[in-house]
Amino acid sequence: MKNFLSLAVVGLLFAGDYNIGVGFGRHNVSNSPINNYNFFNVRAGKYLPKNHILRTELERSEKVNNEHITRALLNVEHYFNTNLFIAPYVFVGAGYQWVSGKYKNEVVADLGAGFNIRLYKNLDAFLELRGVRDFGNNDNHYGVIFGLSYNFKEKDLKNLKDSDNDGVIDLLDKCPNTPENIAVDKKGCALDDDKDGVPNYLDKCPNTPNGFNVNQEGCPITFNFDIKFDTAKAEVKPEYEKKLREFANFLKENPKYKVRIEGYTDNVGNEEDNLKLSEKRAKAIYEELIKLGISEDKLSYKGYGEANPIASNDTKEGRAKNRRVIAVLYY
């Protein structure tokens, strides 16, 4: 079995199209003390020019006369037309036979004919009639084999390569050309533990909390508090205390940052009133952060009213996005 697999692997390493298959069959034996027997067959073939295939096979019989017959074969097949739904072929070859008993191990030759039936895309069924001549024991084995084979194209083989050596084959790699020695996930993409969109190997600010927008180095530049205020109100509801506390803890753990709190509104109402309301809301966040232990010299706030919308004010959803308070980080 090991020898057969070695031959198959060597064949697959060469460019071109190839196939693999498995089958079951039965042999009738003449001029021999061995009874008729069933056997299992595995094969691998490489397509050659002019509708030929070089095929290696290994087969193993059931126990017959208290012996197992193991046979390795190398055959050349000729297809009359490989594009047919039912594709007939003939083959001839030779090999070696091992028997676990008094029966001699000997060189054998085989020949036969068969046909492939295309089942689905590259999947075929095959049926073969063949004869095997055992020269040393002077007997003949006549058999029939039925099985399935799968055809691989050269492009399929290329897809089994791992061009960037990240441990994920090209066929499955969603992030080709990953730099060497970079940890990747099962899709072949560099790990991004803090989910900020910057992979670990480029991230100079790892463990950035959720809610931050980051720069190309993975360092925070803005934070959207995503706080919903009541209409024309600037009071921060208790339900947002957890989010504010998480942001305050981030600032304590990263004292290099200073923060400017910016408030914005949609375009509903008076522009001047909206400007005042946006500043009140920014100030409310500013005061909450001071209560949570952030020094005043690290904080500032400003209202911008209807300026700098991030969505259309023509829809309810867009106006909701524009009513926002964000933190701009700098140092």
- Looking at residue 16, its pLDDT comes to 63
**170 within domain boundaries:** yes
**105 within domain boundaries:** yes
Are residues 176 and 234 located together in one domain of the fold?
no
- Looking at residue 156, its pLDDT comes to 56
For 171-215, how does the pLDDT look when each residue is reduced to its tens digit (9 = 90+)? 788 898 889 888 899 888 999 998 888 999 999 888 888 878 888
Are residues 262 and 148 located together in one domain of the fold?
no
- Looking at residue 155, its pLDDT comes to 58
- CATH number of the domain to which 88 belongs: 2.40.160.20
Percentage of residues in the chain having pLDDT higher than 70: 93
pLDDT average, residue stretch 62-69 = 85
Q: What's the mean pLDDT when you consider all of the chain?
A: 87
Are residues 129 and 43 located together in one domain of the fold?
yes
- Looking at residue 158, its pLDDT comes to 59
- Looking at residue 4, its pLDDT comes to 43
Q: Which of 157, 172, 203 is the last residue of a domain?
A: 157
| Total domains present in the chain | 3
- CATH number of the domain to which 253 belongs: 3.30.1330.60
- CA–CA gap between residue 299 and residue 325 (Å, rounded): 14
- Label residue 30 by pLDDT band (50, 70, 90): confident
Are residues 8 and 108 located together in one domain of the fold?
yes
**216 within domain boundaries:** no
pLDDT average, residue stretch 140-148 = 95
**Structural domain span for residue 257:** 225-330
- Looking at residue 28, its pLDDT comes to 93
CB of 17 closer than 8 Å to CB of 150: no
For every residue of 71-117, DSSP letters joined together read: EEEEEEEEES-TTSSEEEEEEEEEEEEEESSSSPPEEEEEEEEEEEE
Are residues 99 and 27 located together in one domain of the fold?
yes
Backbone dihedral region of 123: left (phi > 0), alpha (psi from -120 to 50 degrees) or beta? beta
Are residues 180 and 256 located together in one domain of the fold?
no
pLDDT higher than threshold 80 for residue 143: yes
- CA–CA gap between residue 192 and residue 198 (Å, rounded): 6
